[in-house]
Amino acid sequence: MNVLEVNSTDLDGRIFNGFDLQCALNKRGINTRQIVYRKFSQNENVILEEYPQYVYERIQYEETLLAWNNLLTPWEYFMRQSEAYKKADIVHYHLIHHNMLSMINLPDIMNEKPTIWTIHDPWVVTGHCIYPLQCEKWKNGCQQCEHIQWEMPLKKDTAYLHWKIKERSYKKIDPDIVVSTNFMKSYIENSLLTEHFQHIHIIPFGLDEDYFFINKDIKKEKLGISNEKIVIGFRASDFPVKGCQYIYQMMEQLGEVNKKITYICLGDGTIPQHIREKYKIKQLGWEKRKEIIIEFYGICDIFLMPSLAESFGLMAIEAMAQRCSVVCFKNTVLEEITEAPEIGCAASYCDAKSLAEIVKRLIENVDEIKYRGEQGRNLVRRKYNFEQYVTAHKQLYQNVWERNMYEKL
């Protein structure tokens, strides 16, 4: 059985996009390749199928002019000419909305070979948005879109056009769908676009054993942080959906409690100068190196993730693996991921005061931080284990392959 993982790139988001999966499957004897149009690794099983630059630039220009997105994209033509694609028994698509596959041509692509499609975010069921937040227009056509200037911005509102094109294309396909949470599964089941999909599989993402080595005291000392301080970590981002504005508001509301706290963050988002200086925030910048990321979580006692929307929330399980108590917002997938309120803590949605109340309670009850941290670590080992993630995909590939062989008889 030959498997082909398809994504725009290999190393960015490697846990999500098929790179780590193909590495693990090859070690288990399943011949797996990955095809991308941006390659950063030296892995011999990753195939680079580049866009001709003039084609890429022309498509970008035309789609921007027309306020279209993923409609003219011709990359699948180059992909389908590759030997890896021709030899593949199963094709597994990951993120396809970064100038990869044309929604117009999707039936031709996905009906050519047995197909698995991992749906990473709600873009699949909307006319434009990756994160619809509290908007429910995706359920009936995305007319009068309120978010056209968000990720992948459009010059004018063509969300309904995109929704109708997806409707026409999806009616002609029925791939095996993989989602990582019940939260994402509910999008697929409640959308008029995808409610007919018959094969939906929940396979949570998983972490390898590297994420579980901990010695918090030694790691705090390395940054000159007193063991008496409670370290609160977060990701600094300028994207409003990540919710950093609520963290900064929370700091102001905590008052004297801040004397017991040291704040550190990953990410290159802009922290307001008065907030950075007043609370002496240690900003480590954006990191891709796994060992540095693990060390960051290892320093933290509490990890704040007040995202207004996530499709999974990898940082939450990375933090829990390092015994961090995770605080998020209700009504997001993070509530499911962290199993709040039993393990994670969930504040009222978009409510800095509620966030501050939870953090204050944790600061005043160190035993609760330790208890939730230990329970979170156990949860990750039990539910978000990389070996389980690989085994589930191996079984899925086998089932899809056997079903296809049976249908050919």
Residue 113 is predicted with a pLDDT of 96
pLDDT in tens, 230-244: 999 999 999 999 999
Residue with more model confidence, 217 or 401: 401
Residues 219-236: what's their mean pLDDT? Answer: 88
Q: What is the largest CA-CA distance in the chain?
A: 73
Residues 214 and 122 in one domain: no
Cβ(331)–Cβ(349) below 8 Å:
yes
Residues 81 and 36 in one domain: yes
pLDDT at 216 over 70: no
Residues 35 and 172 in one domain: yes
Residues 167 and 24 in one domain: yes
pLDDT in tens, 325-349: 999 999 999 999 999 999 999 999 9
Residues 117 and 22 in one domain: yes
Residues 269 and 233 in one domain: yes
Q: pLDDT-based confidence at 209, cuts 50/70/90?
A: confident
Ranked by mean pLDDT, the top range of 53-67, 111-125, 129-143 is: 111-125
pLDDT at 213 over 80: no
In the chain, the number of structural domains is 2
pLDDT in tens, 291-323: 888 889 999 999 999 999 998 999 999 999 999
pLDDT mean across residues, the chain: 94
- The whole domain housing 64 covers 2-206+386-408
Within a 10 A sphere around the Cβ of 355, how many other Cβ atoms?
27
Residues 92-101: what's their mean pLDDT? Answer: 90
Residues 111 and 154 in one domain: yes
Residues 202 and 278 in one domain: no
CA distance 70 to 48: 20
pLDDT at 276 over 90: yes
Residue 218 is predicted with a pLDDT of 64
**Torsion of Cα atoms, 167 then 168 then 173 then 175, to 10°:** -30
Residues 73 and 160 in one domain: yes
Q: pLDDT-based confidence at 17, cuts 50/70/90?
A: very high
Q: pLDDT-based confidence at 287, cuts 50/70/90?
A: confident
Residues 94 and 174 in one domain: yes
Residues 268 and 166 in one domain: no
Residues 102 and 15 in one domain: yes
Instruction: CATH number of the domain at 67, please.
Output: 3.40.50.2000
